[in-house]
Amino acid sequence: MSDHTQVKMTEMNYGKDRPKAENPVKVEDLSLRDGHQSLFATRGRTEDMIPVAELMDEVGFWAVETWGGATFDTMHRFLNEDPWERIRTLKRYFKKTPFSMLLRAQNLVGYRNYADDLAKSFVDRSCENGMDIFRTFDALNDYRNFETVVERIKANGKHFQGCICYTMTEPRMGGEVYNIDYYVNKAKALEEMGADTICIKDMAGLCAPYDAYQIVKALKETCKAPIHLHSHFTSGMSPMTHLKAIEAGVDIIDTCMSPYAYRTSHAAIEPLVMTLLGTNRDTGFDITLLGQINEILEREVMPKYAHLLDDSKMSTIDINVLLHQTPGGMLSNLVNQLREMDALEKIGDVYRELPRVRKELGQIPLVTPTSQIVGIQTVNNVLFDDEKERYKMITAQVRDLCYGLYGKTAVPIDSEVQKKALKGYKRGEEPITCRPAEVLDPELEKAKEEIGGLAKDIDDVITYALYPVTGKRFLKWKYGHEDVPPEVMPRTLTQVKKEQDLIKKAKAGLLEEKKEKEVPEKSENVRTFNVFVDDEYFEVGVDELGESPIISYIQQLGQMPAQSVQMMQPVQTPKPSAKAKPAATVVPPPPKSAAPATSGSPTSPKPAAAVAAAPAAPVTSTAEGTPLKAPMPGMIISFEKKVGDAVNQGETVVILEAMKMENALPSPASGTLKAINYKSGDSVAKNDILCIIG
């Protein structure tokens, strides 16, 4: 029997009073950040963390991860929650256990490198609000991107955990780039920077058990700092990987409470506790306490999120990760994007193109944001390239990457791709080799000026500086300048119960099924009406065929469709007007001859207050000229030109954000910009006419 399996049967019990192990494995719980980020798109609300917070504080976790990663983005964008407030609220319940956050180094909690002044202020404010441990990573493992934030973490007397993003190009660790020497050298570099702990960040669940053994063993021999393993379950290997890492002497392991565990999340804590019980690495955790926490989560919390779980597959593991060495979340994003563009059949092409694009872009690790950068560019290549030309539509982020704005890539970027990406690039056509933030202008003061009185404190300013469009919208909700749309409101257990009853009824055959009629094709004459009945709102399309108009479609818009929560873009759903009379109110669309609105919603002119929050409906009327249509669904970031401006064919007119990547859309013709149909922050569907060039 090895040391690890010496179970002292006589002294073994489940409780906390069992003898302390010689070298207990320390555990960080990720349920409140990575757990719900992995399983239900980071939609976990603070109010649903509170019921278990005090009990979790009793477990004896080394740390609980409560913040960072995608939480900041999701909270202010989709949950109407102030991200800063979450730290302060949870701190009132967790009195003993340190808080850990995932910090994307110079990317902070966003998707690009921010300027040094903003990065410093962000870290200072995170410390001030209650953050203790900063798990810091850079998507390119370029530690020059750590310099600014680490200086502030240390200055505030907090814990700097340095990450090495684990990635590979072969089916197992090895090859020319990501071999054992790579990881050992990265760990040495982190220790030199003053890392208090070193984390192997296996975000895709790629780290095989025996590779983990080899790395942990090597790092334990090289480094003094404790070694931490973060390995997602996605591929199904992580519980085995954990065990081999523990045998190799890993100090800290990441797990989730079982309702937040497995699939693309992490292995559960309970089986690990039982596995190590009575060994020299026993966690010492009270398994009955863990059971209590699980019961509350199952009963009071999980029902509110069950609708967000991806139950489309029976399989709890994603073997695509084993086949393609790419993160599970990235693949599901790609699938979502292809589906939105009616091109799901091209997924095979995407799998083939992906390793090629990754190699051309410097064989970079695939983790936020590089997974999106490589993923979206791959989709663009598959959808828009032809035999004569590759990289026809290059995202703004790929241009930034080629310029060196994310840092140094593992191998040099393909020179032809780089040259093409940097043609006409705003910062210059010659790539930089310095630390990226050195070329960034300070941005905090500018943000302060722009947001003005809408920001009441520095935390508000940072929210806006990180997320100008959605951050500003959130501040308007926060201070009552704009009504909070219903889709960002929390679900209650009562609502959930109502839905479940309805499903039960349906299953028992007590609900009558409506006969589906065949829907005729919409003609060009279709006119849309907004119809308000009680609290419900419908968009009605009326299609004139011959003499009498027929209603061609009715789309209920009162509720957010279930699948849209998976989308990256905020979904704009109209709010039923409080003034709407029980009787149907029909709001006619603008007459066809009317010139398109030059700004604002395309549904303007707005004849009634009721349509003020109407969605960006497809534009059917156009001015004379060539339309620039949205090649993909997304959110308008900005128009680079004003109405009346002269534009050349190929010149960038619109910046459209799709799947968090910015796409510069070129003008389809030369002429004058005649009309702009949307404004910054509007969501658009594929083929919506964004503007007219005449």
Residue 200 or 203: which CB sits closer to Co ion? 203
Residue 65 or 116: which CB sits closer to Co ion? 65
The helix or strand, by DSSP H or E, that contains position 334, with its residue range, turns out to be helix 328-340
* Cβ at position 34, least distance to Co ion in Å: 4
Residue 137 or 537: which CB sits closer to Co ion? 137
Strand partners, 647: 671
* Cβ at position 234, least distance to Co ion in Å: 10
Distance, in Å, from the CA atom of 65 to the CA atom of 135, rounded to the nearest integer, reads 9
Q: How many CA atoms lie within 13 A of 284 on its CB side?
A: 16
Neighbouring CB atoms inside 10 A of 206's CB total: 26
* Cβ at position 202, least distance to Co ion in Å: 8
Residue 215 or 610: which CB sits closer to Co ion? 215
Q: 663 by DSSP, 3-state: which?
A: strand
* Cβ at position 38, least distance to Co ion in Å: 7
* Cβ at position 101, least distance to Co ion in Å: 12
Residue 140 or 203: which CB sits closer to Co ion? 203
Do residues 234 and 327 touch, judged by C-beta distance below 8 A?
yes
* Cβ at position 232, least distance to Co ion in Å: 6
Residues 32-71 that bind Co ion (CB under 5 A): 34
The helix or strand, by DSSP H or E, that contains position 182, with its residue range, turns out to be helix 180-192
Residue 264 or 397: which CB sits closer to Co ion? 264
* Cβ at position 266, least distance to Co ion in Å: 7
70 burial via Cβ count (<10 Å: 0-12, 13-18, 19+): buried
Residue 203 or 636: which CB sits closer to Co ion? 203
Do residues 572 and 615 touch, judged by C-beta distance below 8 A?
yes
Residue 203 or 613: which CB sits closer to Co ion? 203
By beta carbon distance, the residue nearest Co ion is: 34
Whether omega for the bond prior to residue 369 falls within 30 degrees of 0, making it cis, is yes
CA 251-233-274 angle, to 5 degrees, is 55
Residue 125 or 266: which CB sits closer to Co ion? 266
The mark string for 144-183 relative to Co ion (x by CB under 5 A, - otherwise) is: ----------------------------------------
Residue type, 686: K
In this structure, what are the phi and psi dihedrals at residue 198, rounded to the nearest 5 degrees?
A: -120, 130
Counting contacts by CB under 5 A, is residue 29 touching Co ion? no
* Cβ at position 228, least distance to Co ion in Å: 12
CA 203-71-31 angle, to 5 degrees, is 60
* Cβ at position 372, least distance to Co ion in Å: 15
* Cβ at position 392, least distance to Co ion in Å: 33
Rg from Cα positions in the chain: 27
Assign residue 279 a region (left: φ > 0; alpha: ψ between -120 and 50; beta: otherwise).
beta
**Number of residues in contact with Co ion under rule CB under 5 A:** 2
DSSP count for the chain of H helices, then E strands: 21, 20
Residue 82 or 318: which CB sits closer to Co ion? 318
* Cα 66 to chain centroid, rounded: 16
Neighbouring CB atoms inside 10 A of 477's CB total: 16
Residues 180-239 that bind Co ion (CB under 5 A): 203
Q: At what angle do helices 347-360 and 328-340 cross, to 10 degrees?
A: 120
- How far is CA 650 from each of CA 391, 408, 414, 665, 669, rounded to the nearest angstrom? 15, 30, 24, 8, 7
Residue 39 or 195: which CB sits closer to Co ion? 39
Which residues of this protein are in contact with Co ion, per CB under 5 A?
Answer: 34, 203
